């Protein structure tokens, strides 16, 4: 069996529904995880997505901000969400599904961006981000229940030197500061996670999933960052086949500043 999972920060699912539909028609993942849906649960576009064959939808929404959703061809069960930092924000949703004779727990995250100033003493948004990361460290890839784990989402950190267009110039820019990148590497280590994209990509190769709206010509400037991630528990690494960053989607009509990232598994 082949399993195809995509993560995409859509930056308003209702505003960008046409490109979500285009992506599902052209690329047909089994499961699509969305972040920043920016709508309440009852405002989510269930009908058009179900008409495309995605009958199973789990949504944790919020008016105007944040929000995460799992859109699936496969049945979803045991759904839950965690209120990290007790802020009431909708930044996490999880569900369990079956694939290839395996039970898999899927986590979909939208980690706080952290504002512009990388100083937690003067920027409460950055303090929130660091606290959120700290709380995520208790989440184990192997929960000891025989269920494999996949963690995806916009984690708003580009952890390695070649996950940004210029390591030196971004060391003091939120998403690539040492306190964030060290924190993410500690999160991966403590949780027993495997960063799949970097697992199969040399450290000296550039990987980007996000290009700022501020660039007049995002493609020519190519000042990207890898903010979107797909991690798994160690037991699923052998089933991982490949991944794709659909950079062309950054040039679609009314695009998100993030692009879809897809992982293939073979069981």
* Contact yes or no for 43/60 (Cβ under 8 A): no
11 is in an annotated binding site: no
The Cα-based distances of 265 to 88, 165, 232, 242, 250 in angstroms read 34, 29, 11, 7, 25
d(CA 91, CA 70): 12
**Nearest Cα to Cα of residue 44 among 21, 13, 72:** 13
Q: Is the dihedral of CA 63, 73, 150, 145 positive or negative?
A: positive
Q: How is residue 80 written in tokens? A: 């839950």
Is 258 one of the catalytic residues? yes
Marked catalytic residue, from 30, 54, 60, 154: 154
Task: Enter the tokens of residue 174.
Answer: 């939120």
- Torsion-angle region of residue 114: left (phi > 0), alpha (psi -120 to 50) or beta? left
Tokens of 25: 């028609």
Known active-site residue 65: no
Axis crossing angle, helix 124-136 with helix 178-191, rounded to the nearest 10: 20
Q: Of residues 89, 110, 128, 163, which has the active-site annotation? A: 110
Residue 156 assigned to a binding site: yes
9 is in an annotated binding site: yes
CB burial of 103-123 (b: ≥16 within 10 Å; e: otherwise) equals ebbbbbbbbbbbbeebebeeb
Q: Is 204 annotated as a binding residue?
A: no
Q: Count CA atoms closer than 13 A to 8's CA, side-chain side.
A: 29
- Is residue 229 among the annotated active site residues? no
Distance, CA of 92 to CA of 66 (rounded, Å): 10
| Candidate list 60, 107, 128, 258, residue with the active-site label | 258
Catalytic residues: 110, 154, 258
Specify binding-site residues for Mg(2+).
Answer: 9, 36, 154, 156, 257-258
Specify binding-site residues.
Answer: 9, 36, 154, 156, 257-258
């Amino acid at each position: 069996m082949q399993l195809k999972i995509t993560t995409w920060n859509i930056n308003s699912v209702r505003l960008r529904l046409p490109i979500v539909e285009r992506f599902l028609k052209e690329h047909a993942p089994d499961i699509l995880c969305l972040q920043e849906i920016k709508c309440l649960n009852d405002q989510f576009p269930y009908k058009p997505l179900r008409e495309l064959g995605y009958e199973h939808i789990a949504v944790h929404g919020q008016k105007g901000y944040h929000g995460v959703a799992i859109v699936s061809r496969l049945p979803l069960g045991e759904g839950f969400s965690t209120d990290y930092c007790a802020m009431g924000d909708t930044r996490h949703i999880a569900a369990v599904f079956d694939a290839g004779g395996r039970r898999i727990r899927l986590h979909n995250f939208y980690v706080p961006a952290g504002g512009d100033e990388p100083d937690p003493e003067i920027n409460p948004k950055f303090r929130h981000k660091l606290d959120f990361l700290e709380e995520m460290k208790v989440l184990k890839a192997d929960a000891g229940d025989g269920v494999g784990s996949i963690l995806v989402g916009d984690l708003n950190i580009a952890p390695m030197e070649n996950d940004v267009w210029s390591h030196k110039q971004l060391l003091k820019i939120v998403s690539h500061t040492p306190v964030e990148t060290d924190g993410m590497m500690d999160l991966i280590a403590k949780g027993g996670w495997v960063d799949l994209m970097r697992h199969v990509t040399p450290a000296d190769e550039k990987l980007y999933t996000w290009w700022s709206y501020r660039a007049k010509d995002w493609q020519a400037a190519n000042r990207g960052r890898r903010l979107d991630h797909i991690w798994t528990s160690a037991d699923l690494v052998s089933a991982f086949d490949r991944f794709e960053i659909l950079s062309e989607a950054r040039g679609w009509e009314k695009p998100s500043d993030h692009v879809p990232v897809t992982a293939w598994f073979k069981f």
